[in-house]
């Protein structure tokens, strides 16, 4: 249930509304990481709230790179993957028996250019679902429209139920996708203002794709009917080889429409190429577990995550209006 001080029946009602709105929740098969790997990020979050910078106006929107501020950089650096003996199977050091182009470090670096959208309070505390005895769950949406739809449904339900004050000041903010994927793999301790709850509660972030993107993915692979899978669209016809280094870069699009538009832009006279789809968490799972050679994209390539044009425009506009900083150690109660 959502963490706020309202009667149980109202919380159940609102929880149902949010679960219906979030039809495509991130899958629960997260890799278990060492709690020690998250400790330093908690301290950083308290003093350096996460913010997000838009690209310079001169940069093409389709290739715009969203850069985190110093706060985001310190958070990303602190939230490193474990290297203990207990986590040997997901060690991200270069000694892994896989090509160094397809590494967790490279994936995270590329994801930093992708903005995701979260529902927070005016001071940056995330709205979360919570059942006592379990982890609280927050959400990061790949599209602004999905985040706004969930926020609107929750606000309407709260108003009809007589507890609209719960959602006063609720707003949308952005976080870099590399931070979101870390938070989806590593539980974080958060505090709430509700004294009846324990001082700190473990939380996890689930990434939710847009409706159109999910529909496009289902047409290509039926496995995307399972809730919570985030599709990445690609075509080998769009990969680029650096002539000096020989490095092959393969764009991974969050929107299939953007992939097709890019092909038409480059090859207006040619038929559309064949394309594939890969799930975001699956990509990380395979690389983390040293099974990258089993991925259909090949392993001798560097992946470039391309945010949707909609997400880039929306994040830029939100930034221009002012964003509430996303706080990693706080949640609504």
Show pLDDT as tens, one digit a residue, over the chain (333 residues).
Answer: 333 333 444 444 444 444 444 433 333 333 333 333 333 333 333 333 343 343 333 334 333 333 332 333 333 333 333 322 222 233 333 343 444 788 999 999 999 999 999 999 999 999 998 888 889 999 999 999 999 999 999 899 989 988 888 888 899 999 999 999 999 988 999 988 676 667 788 999 999 999 999 999 999 999 999 877 999 999 999 999 999 988 999 999 999 999 999 999 999 999 999 999 999 999 999 999 988 889 998 778 899 999 999 999 999 999 998 888 899 999 986
The closest alpha carbon to 19, from 111, 207, 186, 154, belongs to 154
pLDDT at 268: 93
Instruction: Note whether residue 49 is domain-resident.
Output: yes
Instruction: Note whether residue 250 is domain-resident.
Output: no
Round to whole Å and give the CA distance between 250 and 270: 20
- Phi, psi of 198, rounded to the nearest 5 degrees: -60, 160
Round to whole Å and give the CA distance between 49 and 64: 23
Instruction: Note whether residue 2 is domain-resident.
Output: no
pLDDT at 333: 64
- Helices 177-185, 104-111: inter-axial angle, 10-degree rounding: 130
The closest alpha carbon to 53, from 327, 330, 323, belongs to 323
CATH code for the domain of 209: 3.40.1350.100
How far lies 131's CA from each of 1, 5, 161, 320, in Å? Answer: 6, 14, 21, 36
* CA geometry: angle 67, 71, 74, nearest 5 deg: 95
Token code pair at residue 241: 């080889």
- Phi, psi of 67, rounded to the nearest 5 degrees: -110, 130
The model's pLDDT over 189-220, given as tens digits with 9 standing for 90+, comes to: 998 867 666 778 899 999 999 999 999 999 99
SS3 39: helix
- In the chain, what is the straight-line distance between the N-terminal and C-terminal CA atoms, in Å? 10
Instruction: Note whether residue 109 is domain-resident.
Output: yes
Round to whole Å and give the CA distance between 221 and 224: 6
Instruction: Note whether residue 127 is domain-resident.
Output: yes
Residue 26 domain boundaries: 8-214+309-321
Instruction: Note whether residue 66 is domain-resident.
Output: yes
pLDDT at 33: 33
Instruction: Note whether residue 93 is domain-resident.
Output: yes
DSSP H helices, 168-321, are 177-185, 211-220, 256-266, 280-288, 309-321
Round to whole Å and give the CA distance between 206 and 210: 13
pTM of the model: 0.73
Token code pair at residue 6: 């309202």
Q: What is the total count of domains within the chain? A: 1
Residue by residue, DSSP assigns 96-160 as SSS-TTS-HHHHHHHHTT-EEEEEE-TTSPBP-B--TTS-EEEEEESSHHHHHHHHHHHHHHHHH
Instruction: Note whether residue 39 is domain-resident.
Output: yes
pLDDT at 193: 67
The closest alpha carbon to 187, from 46, 36, 70, 311, belongs to 36
The closest alpha carbon to 101, from 287, 299, 305, belongs to 299
The answer to whether the beta carbons of residues 299 and 101 sit under 8 Å apart is: yes
């Amino acid at each position: 249930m959502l963490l706020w001080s309202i009667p149980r029946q109202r919380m159940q009602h609102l929880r149902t509304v949010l679960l219906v709105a979030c039809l495509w929740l991130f899958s629960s098969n997260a890799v278990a990481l060492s709690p020690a790997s998250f400790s330093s990020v908690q301290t950083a979050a308290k003093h350096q709230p996460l913010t997000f910078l838009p690209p310079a106006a001169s940069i093409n929107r389709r290739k715009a790179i969203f850069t985190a501020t110093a706060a985001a950089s310190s958070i990303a650096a602190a939230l490193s993957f474990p290297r203990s003996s207990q986590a040997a199977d997901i060690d991200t050091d270069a000694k892994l028996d896989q090509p160094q182009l397809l590494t967790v470090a490279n994936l995270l670096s590329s994801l930093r250019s992708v903005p995701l959208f979260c529902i927070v309070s005016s001071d940056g505390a995330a709205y979360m679902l919570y059942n006592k005895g379990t982890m609280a769950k927050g959400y990061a949406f790949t599209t602004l429209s999905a985040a706004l739809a969930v926020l609107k449904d929750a606000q309407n339900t709260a108003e009809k139920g007589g507890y609209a004050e719960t959602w006063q000041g609720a707003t949308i903010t952005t976080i870099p996708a590399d931070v979101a994927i870390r938070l989806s793999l590593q539980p974080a301790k958060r505090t709430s203002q509700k004294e009846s709850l324990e001082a700190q509660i473990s939380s996890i972030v689930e990434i939710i794709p847009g409706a159109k993107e999910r529909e496009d993915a289902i047409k290509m692979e039926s496995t995307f009917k399972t809730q919570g899978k985030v599709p990445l669209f690609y075509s080998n016809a769009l990969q680029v080889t650096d002539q000096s280094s020989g490095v092959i870069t393969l764009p991974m699009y969050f929107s299939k429409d953007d992939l097709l538009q890019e092909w038409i832009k480059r090859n207006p006279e040619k038929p559309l190429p064949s394309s594939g789809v890969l799930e975001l968490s699956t990509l990380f799972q395979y690389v983390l577990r040293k099974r990258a050679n089993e991925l259909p994209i090949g392993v001798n390539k560097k992946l470039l995550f391309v945010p949707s044009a909609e997400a880039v425009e929306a994040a830029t506009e939100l930034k221009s209006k002012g964003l509430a900083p996303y706080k990693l150690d706080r949640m609504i109660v």
